[in-house]
Structure 1
Amino acid sequence: MSDEVCEVFINAPEVDWLIEFTRRLVNDRLVASGNVIEPIRSIYRWQGEIYDKPEARVVLHTRSSLVPHIIDRANREHPYEVPSVVAMTFFGNPAYVQWIIDETIEP
């Protein structure tokens, strides 16, 4: 078992979709928690066109070893063709890090 933890950031066009997606990840123990933030504003180029759109973002807390499972789930369920899923490891309160490890399991 890896004790390295990370934050995973995922953007989506609708907050309700993101909340339900996060709830499923918590229920399946792929993440310990998720903090949904809205609105955010995303400016990006997609297929040659520049977009400026409101979105929501979730910050998930999980084990680094579970990120590939989260990416796979996002690729299957996300409304975008290419969902933004970015993970960064972090160091934190040892008790909080242990809680993340305790609340997540390898599938």
Structure 2
Amino acid sequence: MMSDQYIMVITTTSNKEDAEKITRHLLEKRLAACIQIIDSISSYYWWQDKINCDQEWLCLIKSHQSVYDLLEKTIIEIHPYEVPEIIALPIVSESNNYLKWLGNQLVNPSLF
């Protein structure tokens, strides 16, 4: 099933507590239906003119394009990073039952 309206948003944090804080906040606001936290990933990146390597926690956030702007704003408000990674990828195919469940968990975007 094609579903270009459903998205997976990716963000990273420097510790488990921040990942859990963002997760709980997004779920409580119903801006996400499901979030998986993967720990102990190695992130290599440029920052302040040098290459850095840090251990991070990866958050995989399942949501809908219609609430992306509010989801992004919410992450930025509570994320401790100066420039948090917030990347949205389309979910191009998924089981019908999963997409139905996902959609039923999210806030009605017409409320905003």
Q: Equivalent residue for 2:94?
A: 92
Asked if the contact 1:4–1:63 (Cα under 8 Å) also holds between the matched residues in 2, the reply is yes
Contact 1:5 1:63 in 2 (8 A): yes
Structure 2 partner of 1:74: 75
1:49 Cα deviation from its structure 2 partner: 1.8
Q: 1:104 aligns with which of 103, 106, 109?
A: 106
TM-score between both structures, scaled by the size of structure 1: 0.92
Deviation for aligned residue 1:76: 1.4
RMSD: 1.5
Return 5+ residue gaps in structure 2 as ranges.
none
Give the secondary structure class of the aligned counterpart of 1:26. helix
Per-residue deviation at 1:41? 0.5
CA distance, structure 2, for counterparts of residue 3 and residue 31 of structure 1: 16
Tell me which amino acid in the other structure corresponds to 2:98. Y
Is the contact made by 1:3 and 1:101 (CA closer than 8 Å) also made in structure 2?
no
Per-residue deviation, 1:71: 1.1
| One-letter identity of the residue aligned with 1:100 | L
The DSSP-based 3-state class of the residue aligned with 2:11 is strand
Aligned-partner residue type, residue 39 of structure 1: S
3-state SS of 2:71 partner: helix
| 4+ runs deviating over 6 angstroms | none
Matches of 1:3 and 1:54 in 2, distance apart? 32
Separation in structure 1 between the aligned mates of residue 67 and residue 100 of structure 2, nearest angstrom: 15
CA distance in 2: counterparts of 1:67 and 1:12, whole angstroms = 19
Match of 2:37 in 1: 36
Task: Report the count of equivalent residues.
Answer: 106
Structure 1: which 5+ residue stretches go unaligned? Answer: none
Identity of aligned residues (%): 25
Q: SS of the residue aligned with 1:18?
A: helix
Deviations 1:40-94 (CA, angstroms, capped at 9, x unpaired): 1000011212111000011011111111111111211111111001111112001
Distance 1:3 1:88, change over 3 A: closer
